[in-house]
Amino acid sequence: MKFGIDRLLSDPALQAELKGRRVALLAHPASVTADLTHSIDALAALPGIKLTAAFGPQHGMKGDLQDNMMETPDETDPVHGIPVFSLYGEVRRPSGQSMTTFDVILIDLQDVGCRIYTFVTTLLYVLEAAAEHGKTVWVLDRPNPAGRPVEGLTLRPGWESFVGAGPMPMRHGMTLGEMGLWFIDHFGLKVDYRVIEMEGWEPEQGPGYGWPLSQRSWINPSPNAPNVSMVRAYAGTVMLEGATLSEGRGTTRPLELFGAPDIVARDVIAEMQRLAPEWLKGCVLRDCWFQPTFHKHVGQLCNGVQIHVDDPHYDHAAFKPWRVQALAFKAVRNLYPDYDLWRDFPYEYAFGKLPIDTINGSPALREWVDDREATAADLDALTLPDEAAWEEARKPFLLY
């Protein structure tokens, strides 16, 4: 199969449309071609393509900053001598100055298919700036490695943030190129936009179900996205960033597990199975031990649960990562009623809101967890209508 960058590199007609125009690239470490050449180098080598600027999202072009809310400065590319503007530093939105450096911006970002992953919001901010300044945007499309399934509550009005660009569920099931089409329609943007589509992407086909296993190398789009298993679990495990439980940062399996020094993982798994066994299909939960080398519970031995979503334990259609993690919170709350579960700090600069609420786009998930009488059916009653509505809303914008 071909990703958008590979189509551009192999199609002289597409390249011809860029000749005579100043071109910028928004990219990160996973922005590579089929032969693992970084996109900035591949584009710079094309005759007639004039690269005048580059942009980096959260974690930067280098992807070297491990944690959230660690800002990247602007710099000059040491090889190509062009400015590299950070969209996760002094600004989150492209500045007026940076917008004067190009005519068309190519967006080549490997996303992971989750609303909270900030590349989605960065796409919206670039589209809005391009509409304001009369610039052209091309998305060089890449797979959604989590595939097409939809899950989670829709972000509620007033809960927009850098991890919540608009009213979509946690797991949206779209590519970045498709998401751009939805943004333009939903927000009524007037922008010259084009998707350079992939060839041969089959998101319903195993064993990858979104990611072309054995056809393309996986490269971390952010430091704690090391493999496809993490991507599959992420729409649930990302909620741990709003909880005091470790999400495995500082281990070799970040965002595939959760735990803490003061829980008994086997009891948590048993309670999850008691509460809603139907939510645990498609994966296997295994109790384990880990000691984070940084971040939460650093240096402490944690008892935890690893969510196994690789062969032979993975059922793509059945797996519900958001519900699995919600159920884990519920089990901890039931077993340890006074557990200090929720962190309290301005997550992604959203002041005055609990991080778990910012992550979910409303307090609804937290309130369900903390309500001792609330059942799995109660959360489904809130969530199933949101999921069905999103599946209908996205249909006109799906390209594959």
- Encode pLDDT of 167-225 as tens digits: 999 999 999 999 999 999 999 999 999 999 999 999 999 999 999 999 999 999 999 99
Return the SS3 of 307.
Answer: strand
Query: Residue 17: CB partners within 8 Å, gap ≥ 6?
Result: none
| Structure tokens that stand for 128 in this block | 């809005």
Question: What's the pLDDT score for residue 69?
Answer: 54
Chain-centroid distance of CA 330 in Å reads 24
**In the predicted structure, residue 55 carries a pLDDT above the cut 60:** yes
Q: Mean pLDDT for the chain?
A: 95
Strand partners, 76: 83
Q: Decide: 221 and 29 in contact? Cβ < 8 Å.
A: yes
Q: How far is it between the farthest Cα atoms of the chain? A: 66
pLDDT band for position 67 (cuts 50, 70, 90): low
Question: What's the pLDDT score for residue 61?
Answer: 77
| Structure tokens that stand for 3 in this block | 């990703």
Question: Domains in the chain, ordered, with CATH?
Answer: 4-222 (3.40.50.12170), 228-390 (3.90.1150.140)
Q: In what side-by-side order are the strands of the sheet with 302-308?
A: 257-260, 302-308, 284-290
Q: Cα separation of 270 and 328, whole Å? A: 10
Q: Cα separation of 294 and 298, whole Å? A: 5
Query: How many other CB atoms are found less than 10 A from the CB of residue 251?
Result: 23
343-394 residue pLDDT tens: 999 888 788 899 999 999 999 999 999 999 999 999 999 999 999 999 999 9
Query: Residue 312: CB partners within 8 Å, gap ≥ 6?
Result: none
Buried b (16+ CB within 10 A) or exposed e, 173-211: bbbbbbbbbbbbeeeebebebbbbbbeebebeeeebbbb
Check residue 46 and report its DSSP letter.
S
Question: What's the pLDDT score for residue 63?
Answer: 57
Q: Cα separation of 218 and 3, whole Å? A: 13
**In the predicted structure, residue 59 carries a pLDDT above the cut 90:** no
Average pLDDT, integer, range 132-142: 98
Q: Which contiguous run of DSSP H or E holds residue 104? A: strand 104-108
User: Number of C-alpha atoms within 13 angstroms, CB side, residue 190?
Assistant: 3
Average pLDDT, integer, range 157-170: 96
What number of helices (H) and strands (E) belong to the chain?
A: 12, 10
Q: Give which of 43, 166, 169 is closest to 108, Cα–Cα.
A: 43
Residue 107: which region, alpha, beta or left (left: phi > 0; alpha: psi -120 to 50)? beta
- State percent of the chain over pLDDT 90: 91
Of 92 and 317, the one with more pLDDT: 317
Query: Residue 332: CB partners within 8 Å, gap ≥ 6?
Result: 245, 263, 268, 339, 341
CA geometry: angle 275, 280, 285, nearest 5 deg: 105
308-334 residue pLDDT tens: 999 898 999 999 999 999 999 999 999
Residue with tokens 């939460």: 296
Question: What's the pLDDT score for residue 158?
Answer: 95
